């Protein structure tokens, strides 16, 4: 039987048994406490508690991809890489903040995490970054515990050995409290700088619009995530029309109110005389 196709770009079809609205999303849990005693494995295979990366007076970026992800995970990691490398952000990785990447796939190994770390540190090319960007793996219970604490919902699809998951990262205070959410795969350096300043002071941000999250959807035919381009076009067109309206409408109103002046030497219609 062919799989039913959804024509609604806001609610694309999900794999059988997966309710996208329920199983694949972020629940914003601002000010929620991350359990810093939760244990994972670092790139060397050593067991570490999350507190190793917190309680330093520095904010912490937390993201939960999986390292063999064929879809949006790479874009999420690239988004973090771009933000970390952006020279407009005065904060430096390792010195001013930490990045903790935790795989949602319990089958993934420290060796795979180490390879992923080596890849991204090489792309970043920032001396000392190895002390600030960490790639962890763990067991199902501890991964789920962290995901639940930050409101990150995902679903494993055994038919494709893949995960349906949302795209985004969180920023936490050094005490492990959720301070800010960033959705999608682009995390502007300017916004991140402001958020880090707030999180560095222990402040908690406000809920953010999740519209960017829906630019990415699960493709049941390929078992991967892709860009819902129609949704992107809709948003771009609406924004463009609104911007043009801000300039065109006032100009038309002003033009309508302006008296029309005929030049003194204007050519008169044939048969008419100038009696002035």
pTM for this prediction:
0.72
Structure tokens at 13: 């079809």
Q: How far apart are CA 272 and CA 158, in angstroms?
A: 88
Classify residue 94 as left (phi > 0), alpha (psi -120 to 50) or beta. Answer: left
Specify the pLDDT at position 21.
Answer: 56
Q: How many CA atoms are closer than 13 Å to the CA of 6, on its beta-carbon side?
A: 16
- Name, of 181-195, 220-234, 247-261, the range with top average pLDDT: 181-195
Calculate mean pLDDT across residues 119-143. Answer: 97
Start-to-end C-alpha separation, the chain: 87
Domain spans in the chain, listed from the N-terminal domain onward: 20-230
Q: How far is 219 from 200, CA to CA, in rounded Å?
A: 38
Q: Which is more confidently placed, 142 or 240?
A: 142
* CATH code that applies to domain 20-230: 3.40.30.10
Q: Is the pLDDT of residue 129 over 50?
A: yes
pLDDT of residue 121: 97
Rounded Cα–Cα distance for residues 100 and 111 (Å): 17
18-31 pLDDT tens trace:
555 566 788 999 99
Average pLDDT, stretch 225-243? 47
pLDDT band at 247; cut points 50, 70, 90: low
Residue 242 main-chain phi, psi, to 5 deg:
-65, -40
% of the chain beyond a pLDDT of 70: 67
pLDDT for position 26:
85
Is 49:36 a contact under the CB 8 Å cutoff? yes
For 204-217, b/e burial (b = at least 16 CB within 10 A) is: ebeebeeebbbbbb
């Amino acid at each position: 039987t062919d799989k039913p196709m959804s024509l609604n770009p806001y609610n694309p079809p999900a794999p059988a048994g997966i309710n996208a609205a329920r199983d694949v999303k972020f629940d914003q849990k601002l000010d929620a406490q991350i359990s810093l005693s939760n244990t994972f494995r670092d790139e060397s295979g050593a067991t570490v508690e999350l507190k190793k990366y917190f309680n330093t007076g520095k904010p912490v970026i937390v993201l939960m991809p999986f390292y063999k992800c064929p879809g949006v995970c790479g874009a999420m990691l690239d988004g973090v890489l771009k933000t970390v490398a952006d020279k407009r952000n005065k904060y430096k990785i390792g010195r001013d903040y930490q990045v903790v990447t935790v795989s949602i796939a319990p089958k993934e190994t420290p060796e795979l995490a180490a390879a992923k770390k080596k890849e991204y540190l090489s792309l970043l090319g920032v001396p000392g970054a190895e002390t600030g960007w960490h790639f962890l793996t763990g067991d199902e219970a501890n991964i789920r515990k962290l995901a639940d604490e930050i409101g990150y919902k995902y679903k494993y699809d055994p038919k494709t050995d893949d995960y349906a998951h949302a795209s985004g990262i969180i920023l936490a205070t050094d005490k492990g409290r959720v301070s800010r959410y960033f959705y999608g795969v682009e995390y502007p350096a300017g916004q991140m700088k402001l958020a880090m300043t707030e999180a560095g002071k222990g402040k908690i941000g406000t809920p953010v619009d999740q519209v960017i999250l829906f630019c990415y959807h699960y493709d049941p035919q390929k078992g991967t995530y892709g860009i819902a381009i129609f949704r992107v076009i809709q948003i771009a067109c609406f924004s463009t029309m609104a911007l043009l309206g801000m300039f065109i409408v006032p100009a038309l109103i002003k033009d309508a109110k302006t008296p029309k002046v005929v030049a003194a030497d204007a050519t008169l219609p044939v048969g008419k005389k100038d009696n002035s």
